[in-house]
Amino acid sequence: MAELRFDKQADNDRYFSTLETLGVVLPLRLDDENVGDILDHAGVTVLTVDVNNERPDEDVTRLAETIALAINTCGGFRSERSEPSSI
């Protein structure tokens, strides 16, 4: 298996350049009307989780939240806990 390596500055530059080229505006958010759809800040659909409806809606929502959180965090946005964590 290939070793995964990161060059922080080069990876950051490539990340933001790719988003800009694709016209994706952060932060991402979930679509209130379509389960599994993730929209950019402008309201444009970026991706759909579970397009074949193979998972329960609750699982799809949790996956979509996790994906949007990861992308937003890489884009410099920080999440805030709404309640204390048990971790």
pLDDT in tens, 12-54: 889 999 999 999 999 999 999 999 999 999 999 999 999 999 9
pLDDT at 8 (0 to 100)? 81
In three-state secondary structure terms, 8 is: helix
Number of independent structural domains in the chain: 1
In a domain, 20, yes or no: no
In a domain, 9, yes or no: no
In a domain, 2, yes or no: no
pTM: 0.80
Residue 41: give the domain boundaries. Answer: 25-74
Q: Which of 60 and 7 is assigned the larger pLDDT? A: 60
Q: Which of 44 and 2 is assigned the larger pLDDT? A: 44
State both tokens at 26: 């952060």
Would you say the C-alpha torsion 37, 42, 44, 46 has a positive or negative sign?
A: negative
